[in-house]
Chains A and B, each alone.
Chain A
Amino acid sequence: MARYSAKNLTKVGVLVLAVGLVFLAGTFYRTSTTWGSGSVSNLFGLAPQTTHLVKASPFGESDAYIWPPSNLRLDVQANGTLDVHIVDQNGITQWNKNHVVDSVWAAYGIQQEIFNLHLNGRGPHTFLVYNPSEDIVHYEISYTAYGLESDLLYVSVVLTLSGLVVTVAGLLLSWKNRKNRNPPINKQP
Protein backbone atom coordinates (compact mmCIF):
# COMPACT_ATOMS: atom_id res chain seq x y z
CA MET A 1 0.00 0.00 0.00
CA ALA A 2 2.75 2.41 1.05
CA ARG A 3 4.71 1.45 -2.07
CA TYR A 4 1.77 2.45 -4.31
CA SER A 5 1.20 5.75 -2.53
CA ALA A 6 4.90 6.62 -2.85
CA LYS A 7 4.76 5.75 -6.56
CA ASN A 8 1.63 7.85 -7.06
CA LEU A 9 3.21 10.74 -5.16
CA THR A 10 6.20 10.62 -7.52
CA LYS A 11 3.87 10.58 -10.54
CA VAL A 12 1.92 13.60 -9.28
CA GLY A 13 5.21 15.36 -8.54
CA VAL A 14 6.58 14.73 -12.03
CA LEU A 15 3.28 15.91 -13.58
CA VAL A 16 3.31 19.16 -11.56
CA LEU A 17 7.02 19.61 -12.34
CA ALA A 18 6.39 19.13 -16.08
CA VAL A 19 3.50 21.62 -16.03
CA GLY A 20 5.68 24.09 -14.09
CA LEU A 21 8.55 23.73 -16.56
CA VAL A 22 6.28 24.27 -19.58
CA PHE A 23 4.84 27.37 -17.88
CA LEU A 24 8.40 28.60 -17.23
CA ALA A 25 9.44 27.98 -20.85
CA GLY A 26 6.25 29.69 -22.06
CA THR A 27 6.89 32.67 -19.77
CA PHE A 28 10.35 33.23 -21.25
CA TYR A 29 9.11 32.56 -24.79
CA ARG A 30 6.43 35.22 -24.41
CA THR A 31 9.08 37.85 -23.64
CA SER A 32 10.25 37.54 -27.25
CA THR A 33 7.17 39.40 -28.35
CA THR A 34 5.86 42.75 -27.14
CA TRP A 35 2.34 43.03 -25.83
CA GLY A 36 1.53 45.96 -27.99
CA SER A 37 3.32 49.12 -28.86
CA GLY A 38 2.02 52.28 -30.39
CA SER A 39 1.26 55.86 -29.64
CA VAL A 40 -1.66 58.04 -28.67
CA SER A 41 -1.99 61.70 -29.41
CA ASN A 42 -4.56 64.45 -29.30
CA LEU A 43 -4.96 65.89 -32.77
CA PHE A 44 -6.70 69.11 -31.75
CA GLY A 45 -4.82 69.52 -28.48
CA LEU A 46 -6.03 69.20 -24.92
CA ALA A 47 -7.96 72.24 -23.68
CA PRO A 48 -6.74 73.99 -20.50
CA GLN A 49 -7.79 72.46 -17.16
CA THR A 50 -9.40 69.44 -18.85
CA THR A 51 -8.88 65.70 -18.53
CA HIS A 52 -8.99 63.19 -21.37
CA LEU A 53 -9.51 59.43 -21.00
CA VAL A 54 -7.68 57.85 -23.94
CA LYS A 55 -9.66 55.28 -25.92
CA ALA A 56 -7.65 52.35 -27.30
CA SER A 57 -9.74 52.14 -30.47
CA PRO A 58 -12.82 53.72 -32.04
CA PHE A 59 -14.86 50.76 -30.74
CA GLY A 60 -16.81 51.03 -27.50
CA GLU A 61 -17.15 53.83 -24.99
CA SER A 62 -14.17 52.88 -22.84
CA ASP A 63 -12.01 50.60 -24.96
CA ALA A 64 -8.72 49.99 -23.14
CA TYR A 65 -5.43 48.22 -23.80
CA ILE A 66 -5.07 44.70 -22.39
CA TRP A 67 -1.66 44.74 -20.76
CA PRO A 68 -0.02 41.97 -18.70
CA PRO A 69 1.81 42.63 -15.43
CA SER A 70 5.09 43.45 -17.17
CA ASN A 71 7.27 46.45 -17.98
CA LEU A 72 5.93 49.47 -19.79
CA ARG A 73 8.06 52.05 -21.51
CA LEU A 74 6.48 55.45 -21.97
CA ASP A 75 7.78 58.31 -24.05
CA VAL A 76 5.80 61.48 -23.43
CA GLN A 77 6.26 64.41 -25.80
CA ALA A 78 4.18 67.56 -25.30
CA ASN A 79 4.41 71.29 -26.00
CA GLY A 80 3.27 72.12 -22.48
CA THR A 81 3.04 70.50 -19.07
CA LEU A 82 0.74 67.50 -18.50
CA ASP A 83 -0.27 65.10 -15.75
CA VAL A 84 -0.30 61.55 -17.12
CA HIS A 85 -2.08 58.78 -15.24
CA ILE A 86 -2.40 55.09 -16.05
CA VAL A 87 -5.73 53.68 -14.91
CA ASP A 88 -6.87 50.06 -14.73
CA GLN A 89 -10.42 48.75 -15.14
CA ASN A 90 -11.36 50.03 -11.70
CA GLY A 91 -9.90 53.43 -12.51
CA ILE A 92 -11.74 53.58 -15.84
CA THR A 93 -15.04 52.78 -14.11
CA GLN A 94 -14.33 55.35 -11.37
CA TRP A 95 -13.59 58.03 -13.94
CA ASN A 96 -16.60 57.25 -16.14
CA LYS A 97 -19.00 57.12 -13.18
CA ASN A 98 -17.76 59.75 -10.72
CA HIS A 99 -14.93 61.57 -12.52
CA VAL A 100 -12.60 60.47 -9.73
CA VAL A 101 -8.96 59.78 -10.65
CA ASP A 102 -7.88 56.38 -9.27
CA SER A 103 -4.62 55.65 -11.05
CA VAL A 104 -2.11 52.81 -10.76
CA TRP A 105 0.71 55.13 -11.89
CA ALA A 106 0.99 58.87 -12.36
CA ALA A 107 3.51 61.51 -13.38
CA TYR A 108 2.84 65.20 -12.79
CA GLY A 109 3.96 68.30 -14.64
CA ILE A 110 5.82 66.53 -17.42
CA GLN A 111 6.65 67.84 -20.86
CA GLN A 112 9.20 65.58 -22.54
CA GLU A 113 10.21 62.52 -20.59
CA ILE A 114 10.78 58.78 -20.85
CA PHE A 115 9.55 56.43 -18.13
CA ASN A 116 10.15 52.74 -17.50
CA LEU A 117 7.58 51.33 -15.12
CA HIS A 118 6.17 47.98 -14.04
CA LEU A 119 2.45 47.24 -14.11
CA ASN A 120 1.25 45.06 -11.25
CA GLY A 121 -2.06 43.81 -12.59
CA ARG A 122 -3.25 42.13 -15.78
CA GLY A 123 -6.19 43.50 -17.71
CA PRO A 124 -7.54 46.67 -19.31
CA HIS A 125 -5.44 49.80 -18.82
CA THR A 126 -5.44 53.19 -20.47
CA PHE A 127 -4.14 56.74 -20.06
CA LEU A 128 -5.85 59.60 -18.31
CA VAL A 129 -4.23 62.89 -19.36
CA TYR A 130 -4.82 66.19 -17.53
CA ASN A 131 -3.76 69.59 -18.76
CA PRO A 132 -3.11 71.78 -15.69
CA SER A 133 -1.86 74.76 -17.72
CA GLU A 134 -3.75 77.71 -19.15
CA ASP A 135 -2.87 76.85 -22.78
CA ILE A 136 -3.92 74.17 -25.23
CA VAL A 137 -1.38 71.33 -25.12
CA HIS A 138 -0.61 68.93 -27.98
CA TYR A 139 0.90 65.66 -26.86
CA GLU A 140 2.02 62.25 -28.06
CA ILE A 141 2.53 59.27 -25.74
CA SER A 142 4.43 56.30 -27.21
CA TYR A 143 4.20 53.07 -25.25
CA THR A 144 5.71 49.59 -25.39
CA ALA A 145 4.72 46.75 -23.08
CA TYR A 146 7.56 44.24 -22.78
CA GLY A 147 9.37 41.81 -20.48
CA LEU A 148 8.44 38.92 -18.19
CA GLU A 149 4.84 38.62 -17.12
CA SER A 150 5.21 38.53 -13.34
CA ASP A 151 2.02 36.54 -12.62
CA LEU A 152 3.05 33.81 -15.08
CA LEU A 153 6.59 33.76 -13.68
CA TYR A 154 5.24 33.43 -10.14
CA VAL A 155 2.89 30.56 -11.08
CA SER A 156 5.61 28.72 -13.01
CA VAL A 157 8.19 29.03 -10.20
CA VAL A 158 5.65 27.86 -7.59
CA LEU A 159 4.58 24.89 -9.76
CA THR A 160 8.17 23.91 -10.59
CA LEU A 161 9.33 24.04 -6.97
CA SER A 162 6.21 22.23 -5.69
CA GLY A 163 6.68 19.54 -8.34
CA LEU A 164 10.32 19.17 -7.40
CA VAL A 165 9.54 18.86 -3.68
CA VAL A 166 6.72 16.33 -4.24
CA THR A 167 8.87 14.26 -6.65
CA VAL A 168 11.79 14.14 -4.25
CA ALA A 169 9.44 13.26 -1.37
CA GLY A 170 7.92 10.44 -3.45
CA LEU A 171 11.35 9.10 -4.40
CA LEU A 172 12.54 9.23 -0.78
CA LEU A 173 9.40 7.43 0.40
CA SER A 174 9.77 4.66 -2.16
CA TRP A 175 13.48 4.32 -1.30
CA LYS A 176 12.55 4.06 2.40
CA ASN A 177 9.86 1.46 1.65
CA ARG A 178 12.32 -0.59 -0.37
CA LYS A 179 14.83 -0.42 2.45
CA ASN A 180 12.21 -1.58 4.97
CA ARG A 181 11.18 -4.50 2.77
CA ASN A 182 14.78 -5.65 2.25
CA PRO A 183 16.60 -5.06 5.58
CA PRO A 184 20.40 -5.39 5.44
CA ILE A 185 21.61 -8.93 6.20
CA ASN A 186 23.79 -9.19 9.30
CA LYS A 187 26.83 -11.09 8.22
CA GLN A 188 28.12 -13.69 10.68
CA PRO A 189 31.75 -13.20 11.68
Chain B
Amino acid sequence: MASFFSLLRWELEEYLSFPVLAFLIVSAIAAVLFQTNSGGHITSERSYISLFHTSGTVFLFLTFCAGVFFSRSFAGAVGKGETKLMLSYPVKRWQLFLSKFTALFPIIFVIYGAAYALLLYFNSISVFEPMFFVTLLAFLLQLMLTCGVSVAVAMVTKSEIISILASLLFLLGIDSVGGAGTYLSAQGRLKFLFSYFGDLIHPDVPPFTEFSATAGDAATAVVVPVVIFLVLFVAAFVYFTRFMEVD
Protein backbone atom coordinates (compact mmCIF):
# COMPACT_ATOMS: atom_id res chain seq x y z
CA MET B 1 0.00 0.00 0.00
CA ALA B 2 2.93 2.31 0.74
CA SER B 3 4.11 1.99 -2.84
CA PHE B 4 0.63 2.99 -4.08
CA PHE B 5 0.80 6.24 -2.10
CA SER B 6 4.34 6.83 -3.33
CA LEU B 7 3.08 6.40 -6.90
CA LEU B 8 0.19 8.73 -6.15
CA ARG B 9 2.57 11.39 -4.86
CA TRP B 10 4.86 10.94 -7.85
CA GLU B 11 1.89 11.24 -10.19
CA LEU B 12 0.78 14.47 -8.53
CA GLU B 13 4.28 15.93 -8.69
CA GLU B 14 4.80 14.86 -12.29
CA TYR B 15 1.43 15.66 -13.87
CA LEU B 16 -0.17 18.21 -11.55
CA SER B 17 2.84 20.27 -10.53
CA PHE B 18 3.05 24.07 -10.70
CA PRO B 19 2.47 25.31 -14.26
CA VAL B 20 0.02 22.52 -15.11
CA LEU B 21 -2.03 23.02 -11.95
CA ALA B 22 -2.08 26.79 -12.55
CA PHE B 23 -3.31 26.15 -16.12
CA LEU B 24 -6.06 23.86 -14.80
CA ILE B 25 -7.25 26.43 -12.24
CA VAL B 26 -7.10 29.32 -14.73
CA SER B 27 -8.97 27.33 -17.40
CA ALA B 28 -11.73 26.44 -14.92
CA ILE B 29 -12.17 30.07 -13.85
CA ALA B 30 -12.10 31.23 -17.48
CA ALA B 31 -14.80 28.69 -18.38
CA VAL B 32 -17.10 30.23 -15.77
CA LEU B 33 -16.23 33.89 -16.40
CA PHE B 34 -16.27 33.90 -20.20
CA GLN B 35 -20.00 33.48 -20.63
CA THR B 36 -22.26 35.46 -22.87
CA ASN B 37 -25.41 36.57 -21.18
CA SER B 38 -26.98 37.64 -24.49
CA GLY B 39 -28.88 40.38 -22.71
CA GLY B 40 -31.32 37.93 -21.17
CA HIS B 41 -33.15 38.56 -17.94
CA ILE B 42 -31.94 36.73 -14.89
CA THR B 43 -34.56 37.07 -12.21
CA SER B 44 -34.47 35.87 -8.63
CA GLU B 45 -37.14 33.19 -9.16
CA ARG B 46 -35.55 31.85 -12.36
CA SER B 47 -31.87 32.41 -11.53
CA TYR B 48 -31.28 28.68 -11.07
CA ILE B 49 -32.01 28.16 -14.81
CA SER B 50 -28.84 30.15 -15.59
CA LEU B 51 -26.92 27.11 -14.29
CA PHE B 52 -28.12 25.23 -17.37
CA HIS B 53 -27.50 28.03 -19.86
CA THR B 54 -23.97 28.73 -18.64
CA SER B 55 -22.81 25.10 -18.56
CA GLY B 56 -21.81 24.86 -22.24
CA THR B 57 -18.42 26.56 -21.92
CA VAL B 58 -17.65 24.61 -18.74
CA PHE B 59 -18.41 21.29 -20.48
CA LEU B 60 -16.16 22.29 -23.39
CA PHE B 61 -13.21 23.30 -21.18
CA LEU B 62 -13.71 20.32 -18.85
CA THR B 63 -13.73 17.83 -21.72
CA PHE B 64 -10.67 19.44 -23.29
CA CYS B 65 -8.64 19.61 -20.05
CA ALA B 66 -9.60 16.13 -18.81
CA GLY B 67 -8.90 14.61 -22.26
CA VAL B 68 -5.45 16.21 -22.36
CA PHE B 69 -4.57 15.33 -18.75
CA PHE B 70 -5.63 11.67 -18.93
CA SER B 71 -4.01 11.15 -22.35
CA ARG B 72 -0.81 12.82 -21.15
CA SER B 73 -0.68 10.73 -17.99
CA PHE B 74 -1.52 7.32 -19.50
CA ALA B 75 -0.21 7.45 -23.10
CA GLY B 76 2.48 10.07 -22.44
CA ALA B 77 4.04 7.95 -19.68
CA VAL B 78 4.20 4.93 -22.00
CA GLY B 79 5.59 6.98 -24.89
CA LYS B 80 8.30 8.64 -22.78
CA GLY B 81 9.36 5.32 -21.23
CA GLU B 82 8.24 6.36 -17.74
CA THR B 83 5.95 3.34 -17.39
CA LYS B 84 8.80 0.98 -18.22
CA LEU B 85 11.01 2.73 -15.69
CA MET B 86 8.32 2.60 -12.99
CA LEU B 87 7.65 -1.08 -13.58
CA SER B 88 11.36 -1.83 -13.09
CA TYR B 89 10.72 -0.91 -9.43
CA PRO B 90 8.79 -3.29 -7.13
CA VAL B 91 5.37 -1.82 -7.97
CA LYS B 92 2.37 -3.66 -9.32
CA ARG B 93 0.75 -2.68 -12.58
CA TRP B 94 -2.67 -2.17 -10.98
CA GLN B 95 -1.10 0.23 -8.51
CA LEU B 96 0.44 2.28 -11.31
CA PHE B 97 -2.83 2.35 -13.28
CA LEU B 98 -5.05 3.25 -10.34
CA SER B 99 -2.62 5.84 -8.96
CA LYS B 100 -2.91 7.79 -12.22
CA PHE B 101 -6.71 7.72 -12.05
CA THR B 102 -6.85 8.49 -8.32
CA ALA B 103 -4.49 11.46 -8.68
CA LEU B 104 -6.16 13.15 -11.64
CA PHE B 105 -9.91 12.45 -11.44
CA PRO B 106 -10.82 14.01 -8.06
CA ILE B 107 -8.55 17.04 -8.52
CA ILE B 108 -9.97 17.96 -11.94
CA PHE B 109 -13.52 17.54 -10.61
CA VAL B 110 -12.90 19.56 -7.43
CA ILE B 111 -11.20 22.43 -9.31
CA TYR B 112 -13.97 22.67 -11.92
CA GLY B 113 -16.71 22.28 -9.30
CA ALA B 114 -15.17 24.98 -7.12
CA ALA B 115 -14.76 27.34 -10.08
CA TYR B 116 -18.38 26.71 -11.13
CA ALA B 117 -19.50 27.74 -7.64
CA LEU B 118 -18.50 31.31 -8.64
CA LEU B 119 -21.70 31.36 -10.66
CA LEU B 120 -23.70 31.06 -7.45
CA TYR B 121 -22.33 34.44 -6.42
CA PHE B 122 -22.65 36.05 -9.88
CA ASN B 123 -26.30 35.09 -10.28
CA SER B 124 -27.32 35.31 -6.61
CA ILE B 125 -28.14 31.62 -6.31
CA SER B 126 -28.25 29.93 -2.90
CA VAL B 127 -25.35 27.64 -1.99
CA PHE B 128 -27.95 25.04 -1.08
CA GLU B 129 -29.73 25.22 -4.44
CA PRO B 130 -30.29 21.54 -5.35
CA MET B 131 -30.00 22.27 -9.08
CA PHE B 132 -26.39 23.32 -8.54
CA PHE B 133 -25.64 19.80 -7.33
CA VAL B 134 -27.57 18.34 -10.28
CA THR B 135 -25.29 20.36 -12.58
CA LEU B 136 -22.25 19.09 -10.67
CA LEU B 137 -23.54 15.54 -11.22
CA ALA B 138 -23.65 16.25 -14.96
CA PHE B 139 -20.02 17.50 -14.79
CA LEU B 140 -19.04 14.33 -12.93
CA LEU B 141 -20.70 12.17 -15.60
CA GLN B 142 -18.94 14.07 -18.38
CA LEU B 143 -15.61 13.70 -16.55
CA MET B 144 -16.22 9.95 -16.19
CA LEU B 145 -17.02 9.62 -19.90
CA THR B 146 -13.95 11.67 -20.88
CA CYS B 147 -11.76 9.64 -18.53
CA GLY B 148 -13.06 6.30 -19.87
CA VAL B 149 -12.63 7.28 -23.53
CA SER B 150 -9.21 8.94 -23.06
CA VAL B 151 -7.76 6.07 -21.03
CA ALA B 152 -9.05 3.43 -23.46
CA VAL B 153 -7.71 5.32 -26.49
CA ALA B 154 -4.40 5.93 -24.68
CA MET B 155 -3.97 2.22 -23.99
CA VAL B 156 -4.62 1.34 -27.64
CA THR B 157 -2.56 4.07 -29.32
CA LYS B 158 0.21 4.51 -26.68
CA SER B 159 0.79 7.92 -28.28
CA GLU B 160 0.01 11.10 -26.35
CA ILE B 161 -0.86 13.28 -29.34
CA ILE B 162 -2.98 10.67 -31.13
CA SER B 163 -4.76 9.87 -27.89
CA ILE B 164 -5.58 13.52 -27.22
CA LEU B 165 -6.78 14.13 -30.77
CA ALA B 166 -8.81 10.91 -31.04
CA SER B 167 -10.57 11.22 -27.68
CA LEU B 168 -11.31 14.94 -28.05
CA LEU B 169 -12.57 14.58 -31.63
CA PHE B 170 -14.81 11.73 -30.52
CA LEU B 171 -16.23 13.46 -27.43
CA LEU B 172 -16.58 16.97 -28.86
CA GLY B 173 -17.91 15.45 -32.11
CA ILE B 174 -20.70 13.70 -30.20
CA ASP B 175 -21.52 16.95 -28.40
CA SER B 176 -21.59 18.83 -31.69
CA VAL B 177 -23.62 16.28 -33.66
CA GLY B 178 -25.94 15.16 -30.87
CA GLY B 179 -26.67 18.60 -29.48
CA ALA B 180 -29.06 18.61 -26.56
CA GLY B 181 -31.10 15.68 -27.80
CA THR B 182 -29.03 12.64 -26.87
CA TYR B 183 -27.87 10.90 -23.69
CA LEU B 184 -24.35 10.75 -25.13
CA SER B 185 -23.79 14.51 -25.34
CA ALA B 186 -22.95 16.54 -22.24
CA GLN B 187 -25.61 19.16 -22.88
CA GLY B 188 -28.21 16.48 -23.65
CA ARG B 189 -27.61 14.63 -20.39
CA LEU B 190 -27.81 17.89 -18.42
CA LYS B 191 -31.04 18.81 -20.21
CA PHE B 192 -32.70 15.53 -19.18
CA LEU B 193 -31.43 15.80 -15.60
CA PHE B 194 -32.21 19.50 -15.33
CA SER B 195 -35.70 19.08 -16.71
CA TYR B 196 -36.62 16.16 -14.46
CA PHE B 197 -35.18 17.56 -11.22
CA GLY B 198 -36.19 21.13 -12.11
CA ASP B 199 -39.85 20.12 -12.50
CA LEU B 200 -39.59 18.22 -9.22
CA ILE B 201 -37.83 20.89 -7.14
CA HIS B 202 -39.25 24.05 -8.74
CA PRO B 203 -42.76 23.05 -9.92
CA ASP B 204 -43.90 26.73 -9.98
CA VAL B 205 -40.94 27.82 -12.11
CA PRO B 206 -40.16 24.92 -14.47
CA PRO B 207 -36.83 25.15 -16.31
CA PHE B 208 -38.24 24.38 -19.77
CA THR B 209 -41.74 25.18 -20.95
CA GLU B 210 -41.62 23.07 -24.12
CA PHE B 211 -39.83 20.02 -22.74
CA SER B 212 -40.36 17.73 -19.78
CA ALA B 213 -38.21 14.69 -18.95
CA THR B 214 -39.40 11.59 -17.10
CA ALA B 215 -37.66 9.69 -14.31
CA GLY B 216 -36.63 7.11 -16.94
CA ASP B 217 -34.96 9.84 -19.01
CA ALA B 218 -33.03 11.09 -15.98
CA ALA B 219 -32.00 7.56 -14.98
CA THR B 220 -30.83 6.78 -18.53
CA ALA B 221 -28.86 10.04 -18.59
CA VAL B 222 -26.94 8.80 -15.54
CA VAL B 223 -26.66 5.11 -16.46
CA VAL B 224 -25.39 5.55 -20.06
CA PRO B 225 -22.14 7.43 -19.25
CA VAL B 226 -21.54 5.32 -16.12
CA VAL B 227 -21.82 2.06 -18.10
CA ILE B 228 -19.60 3.40 -20.92
CA PHE B 229 -17.04 4.54 -18.33
CA LEU B 230 -17.07 1.20 -16.50
CA VAL B 231 -16.75 -0.87 -19.68
CA LEU B 232 -13.91 1.24 -21.14
CA PHE B 233 -12.10 1.72 -17.84
CA VAL B 234 -12.25 -1.98 -16.85
CA ALA B 235 -11.18 -3.01 -20.38
CA ALA B 236 -8.22 -0.59 -20.23
CA PHE B 237 -7.36 -1.77 -16.71
CA VAL B 238 -7.41 -5.46 -17.70
CA TYR B 239 -5.42 -4.74 -20.85
CA PHE B 240 -2.79 -2.72 -18.93
CA THR B 241 -2.42 -5.20 -16.06
CA ARG B 242 -2.60 -8.47 -18.05
CA PHE B 243 -1.75 -8.06 -21.70
CA MET B 244 0.05 -4.83 -22.53
CA GLU B 245 3.68 -5.14 -23.48
CA VAL B 246 5.66 -2.18 -22.21
CA ASP B 247 8.67 -1.65 -24.42
A61-75 CB contacts (< 8 Å) to partner B? 62-66, 68
Query: Of A29, A34, A63, which one neighbours B43 at CB under 8 angstroms?
Result: A63
Give the CA-CA distance A11 to B121 in the complex, in Å.
28
B102 at interface, CB cutoff 8 A: no
Given A14-B22, A56-B44, check contact A19 B29 (CB 8 Å).
yes
Q: How far is the CB of A125 from chain B (nearest CB, A)?
A: 9
Give the CA-CA distance A64 to B42 in the complex, in Å.
9
A57 at interface, CB cutoff 8 A: yes
B interface residues with partner A (beta carbon < 8 Å) = 18, 21-22, 25-26, 29-30, 33-47, 121-124, 204-205
Give the CA-CA distance A63 to B204 in the complex, in Å.
12
A interface residues with partner B (beta carbon < 8 Å) = 11, 14-15, 18-19, 22-23, 25-27, 29-30, 32-38, 56-57, 59-60, 62-66, 68, 89, 122-124
Query: Which of chain B's residues have a CB closer than 8 A to the CB of A124?
Result: 43-44, 124
Give the CA-CA distance A27 to B34 in the complex, in Å.
9
Given A11-B18, A22-B29, A35-B37, check contact A63 B122 (CB 8 Å).
no
A56-B44, A59-B46 provided; 20 other pairs, C-beta below 8 A? A11-B18, A15-B18, A15-B22, A22-B30, A26-B34, A29-B33, A30-B33, A30-B35, A33-B36, A33-B37, A34-B39, A36-B41, A57-B41, A57-B45, A59-B45, A59-B204, A62-B44, A64-B44, A65-B43, A122-B122
A-B contact pairs, 27 of them (CB 8 A): A14-B22, A15-B22, A26-B29, A26-B33, A34-B37, A35-B37, A35-B42, A36-B41, A36-B42, A38-B41, A56-B44, A57-B41, A57-B43, A57-B45, A59-B43, A60-B45, A60-B204, A62-B44, A63-B43, A63-B44, A65-B43, A65-B44, A66-B42, A66-B124, A68-B122, A122-B121, A124-B124
Contact B29 A23 (CB under 8 A): yes
Query: Of B18, B35, B37, B45, which one neighbours A63 at CB under 8 angstroms?
Result: B45
Contact B44 A22 (CB under 8 A): no
Give the CA-CA distance A42 to B26 in the complex, in Å.
46
Query: Which of chain B's residues have a CB closer than 8 A to the CB of A23?
Result: 29, 33
Give the CA-CA distance A66 to B41 in the complex, in Å.
8
Residue of A nearest to B23 (CB): A18
Residue of B nearest to A14 (CB): B22
Contact B37 A66 (CB under 8 A): no
Q: How far is the CB of A174 from chain B (nearest CB, A)?
A: 14
Query: Which of chain A's residues have a CB closer than 8 A to the CB of B205?
Result: 59-60
- List 5 tightest A-B contacts by C-beta distance, closest first: A26-B33, A60-B45, A56-B43, A124-B44, A66-B42
Q: How far is the CB of B10 from chain A (nearest CB, A)?
A: 18
Give the CA-CA distance A122 to B42 in the complex, in Å.
12
Residue of B nearest to A26 (CB): B33
Q: How far is the CB of A62 from chain B (nearest CB, A)?
A: 8
Residue of A nearest to B41 (CB): A36
Query: Which of chain B's residues have a CB closer than 8 A to the CB of A35?
Result: 37, 39, 42
Contact A123 B124 (CB under 8 A): yes
Query: Which of chain B's residues have a CB closer than 8 A to the CB of A38?
Result: 41
Q: How far is the CB of B216 from chain A (nearest CB, A)?
A: 28
Query: Which of chain A's residues have a CB closer than 8 A to the CB of B45?
Result: 56-57, 59-60, 63
Q: How far is the CB of B43 from chain A (nearest CB, A)?
A: 4
